[in-house]
Amino acid sequence: MYRDPPAASDQADAGDGGPQAAEVEWQGPEGPRPHLCLESLYREESPRLLRTLARRTSSRDEARDLVQEIFCRVARLGSRAGFGLERPQAYLGRMATNLLRDRARQAARRMAEFHVPADEGRLAGPDQQRLLEARDMLTRVEAAMLKLRPKTREIFMAHRIDGLSYAEIAERTGLSVKGVEKQMSKAIAKIDRLLDRD
């Protein structure tokens, strides 16, 4: 879309200075394109920039922020006297690349501020006492389970380790569901007694 240059009185009443009000002179391959407005450039190029930046940042919100920043910079440049571009698409692409580099540098600086060298900070390792207590408890539970009768141990392990329901265990062992419940109660009571004794 081409517009005639605004009169001086129109420029004073331009409003908020957003994309609709700013006009920039662009230089195209076929010659100057006088006063191609920023709004038209935004409509033509922002979808392409948004797609490209969304791929490169993996965040659509960040890509929108970058597109806005690019066009704000173009609007500032357009207000300077004698500003013109031969290839606005290439210029916008270069601005996008530069903004991505700037943001990457800023992120690297922020990360460097929070970096603590390994020799300065205490690294948290596994709590050795807890590991020993867990190992000891496991050994005691295994010993208590070995003291159960084989059928009771099989039912206990099928429920607690294999995750079978009482009905599935009853079907597998030929007992009734009540019989499985009774065997589980015996197993739990005996394991508790043996662990309390140790």
Reported as a single tens digit per residue, the pLDDT across 130-163 is 889 999 988 998 888 899 999 999 999 999 888 9
pLDDT beyond 80 at 16:
no
How many Cα atoms within 13 Å fall on the side-chain side of residue 182? Answer: 6
pLDDT at residue 177 in the model: 93
Lowest average pLDDT, out of 28-37, 70-79, 80-89, goes to: 28-37
pLDDT tens readout for residues 157-190? 999 888 999 999 999 999 999 999 999 999 999 9
pLDDT at residue 23 in the model: 46
3-state DSSP call for residue 61? helix
Residues 65, 70, 72, CA angle at the centre, nearest 5°? 95
pLDDT at residue 77 in the model: 79
82, burial (CB in 10 Å: exposed 0-12, middle 13-18, buried 19+): exposed
Q: What global pTM score does this model have?
A: 0.41
pLDDT at residue 7 in the model: 40
pLDDT at residue 38 in the model: 78
Fold of 137-197: Arc Repressor Mutant, subunit A (1.10.10)
Task: Give the C-alpha separation, 153 to 187, whole Å.
Answer: 7
Exposure pattern of 42-68 as b/e (b: 16+ CB <10 Å)?
Answer: beebbeebbebbbeeeeeeeebeebbe
Using the Cα atoms of residue 111, residue 114, residue 118 and residue 123 in order, give the sign of their dihedral.
negative
3-state DSSP call for residue 85? coil
Domain boundaries, the chain: 8-114, 137-197
pLDDT at residue 118 in the model: 65
